[in-house]
């Protein structure tokens, strides 16, 4: 199965990288956005540096989300066009297909996020904002943001088994937004606390994977926290992928 999965992963990665203009567009938008913020140092009332760092970290997160959604477009299209039916005839064909899509999506996200992160770091360095503390925090935030994008990939894959491309994209974004808000909902004193308490265990705890604010403020995050949070995110993605395999095996194609 592993060999077939790696072939699928390579195909998924190449399918995305054929659209090289998308990568360059993401890089251009991210760098220009951060660069524009760098022009407002005199009117930002002393928060220019943090605003610039916040913009950089946010751009990496947004690019990770957009890149992860690419799998949500690939799978429904291939199922509709029946391009993967030969692989499905193999004993472990469906498992290899889904695992390969997750691995390919992870590669796509890593490449795009890395390109944008390097571009943003370059702009920050030009503004003298890349001290060792910030770079260390930026790297930690990058790791957890990347793990969060893998969770998005797994959930998009789950939705793509049953929904069309557009519905997968909308559903994945909704899950991402609600997953970010679930922890705060559970801690609120409103009637949403009960709903949030349930959702924070069902959906990925993106709040746990978000240390952008700490990184932008130059605050250090312990490696134990980063390690535990990353492990949580990876285990969640594995569990969702296992659920995908179980449901997909029972689907009549």
Average pLDDT in the chain = 78
Encode pLDDT of 60-115 as tens digits.
888 888 888 877 777 788 777 777 666 666 656 778 888 888 888 898 889 888 88
Supply the range of the domain harboring residue 117. Answer: 2-249
d(CA 36, CA 219): 25
Q: Could you give the C-alpha distances from 210 to 34, 81, 151, in angstroms and in order?
A: 20, 38, 13
Encode pLDDT of 175-184 as tens digits.
888 888 777 7
Q: What percent of the chain has pLDDT over 70?
A: 72
Over residues 182-200, the mean pLDDT reads: 71
Question: What token pair was written down for 100?
Answer: 């390969």
Q: Three-state SS for 90?
A: coil
What is the count of structural domains for the chain?
1
Name the range with the highest mean pLDDT among 6-15, 33-42, 68-77.
68-77
Q: Is the pLDDT of residue 11 over 70?
A: no
Among 1-5, 68-72, 122-126, 246-250, the range scoring the smallest mean pLDDT is: 1-5
Residue 153 banded pLDDT, cuts 50, 70, 90: very high
Encode pLDDT of 156-169 as tens digits.
999 988 888 888 88
| Kind plus residue range of the DSSP H or E element containing 27 | helix 20-37
């Amino acid at each position: 199965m592993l060999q077939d999965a790696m072939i699928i992963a390579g195909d998924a990665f190449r399918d995305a990288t054929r659209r090289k203009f998308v990568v360059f567009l993401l890089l251009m938008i991210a760098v220009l956005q951060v660069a524009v913020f760098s022009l407002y140092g005199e009117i930002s009332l002393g928060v220019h540096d943090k605003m610039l760092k916040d913009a950089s970290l946010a751009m990496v997160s947004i690019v990770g989300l957009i890149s992860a959604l690419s799998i949500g477009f690939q799978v429904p299209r291939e199922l509709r066009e029946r391009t993967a039916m030969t692989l499905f005839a193999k004993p472990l064909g469906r498992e290899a297909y889904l695992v390969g899509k997750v691995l390919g999506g992870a590669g796509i996200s890593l490449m795009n996020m890395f390109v944008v992160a390097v571009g943003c770091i370059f702009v920050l360095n030009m503004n003298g904002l890349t001290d060792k503390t910030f770079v260390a925090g930026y790297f930690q935030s990058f790791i957890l943001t990347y793990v969060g994008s893998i969770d998005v990939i797994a959930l998009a894959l789950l939705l793509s088994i049953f929904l069309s491309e557009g519905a997968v994209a909308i559903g994945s974004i909704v899950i991402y937004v609600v997953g970010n808000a679930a922890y705060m909902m559970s801690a609120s004193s409103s009637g949403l606390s009960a709903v949030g308490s349930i959702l924070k265990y069902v959906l990925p705890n993106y709040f746990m994977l978000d240390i952008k604010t700490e990184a932008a403020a130059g605050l250090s995050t312990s490696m134990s926290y980063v390690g535990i949070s990353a492990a949580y995110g990876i285990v969640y993605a594995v569990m969702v992928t296992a659920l995908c395999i179980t449901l997909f095996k029972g689907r009549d194609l």
